[in-house]
Structure 1
Amino acid sequence: MSKDIKSVIDEFYSSVNMTPKELASWLETEESQSVGQKKNDDESIGHKSGKQIIGLLKKKKDTYTDDDLSEMKKVVSYIHRHLAQQPEGDVEHTRWRYSLKNWGHDPIKS
Structure 2
Amino acid sequence: MASGDQDDREETWKAFNEAVNMAPAELEAFLETEESRSVGWTKDGEDESVGHQSGRRIVAIKRSRKSELSDEDFAHMRKVVGYVHRHLAQGGPAEDMEHSAWRYSLMNWGHDPAKA
Instruction: Tell me the distance in 2 between the aligned counterparts of 1:58 and 1:42.
Output: 25
Corresponding residue for 1:26?
30
- In the superposition, the TM-score normalised over structure 2's length comes to 0.90
Amino acid at match of 1:45: V
Partner residue, 2:114: 108
| Aligned-pair Cα RMSD in Å | 1.2
Aligned letter for 2:53? K
Structure 1 residues 41 and 71, CA gap change in structure 2 (3 angstroms): closer
2: CA distance, partners of 1:41 / 1:73: 24
Q: Aligned partners of 1:5, 1:47: CA distance in 2, in Å?
A: 24
Query: What stretches of structure 1 move > 4 A for 4+ residues in a row?
Result: none
Structure 1: any 5+ residue segments left out of the alignment?
A: none
Q: Which of 49, 57, 60 does residue 52 from structure 1 map onto? A: 57
1:41 CA displacement: 5.5
Q: How does 1:1-110 map to 2 (within 5 A)?
A: 2-39=6-43, 40=45, 42-86=47-91, 87-110=93-116
Structure-2 separation of matches of 1:93 and 1:82? 16
Q: How many residues align?
A: 110
**Runs of 5+ consecutive residues of structure 2 not aligned to the other structure:** none
Using the TM superposition, give the Cα deviation of residue 90 of structure 1 relative to its aligned residue in structure 2, in angstroms.
3.4
- Aligned-pair distance for 1:33? 0.1
| TM-score for the superposition, normalised by structure 1 | 0.95
Q: Point out the more displaced range, 62-71 or 23-32.
A: 62-71
Structure (1 or 2) with the greater helix fraction: 2
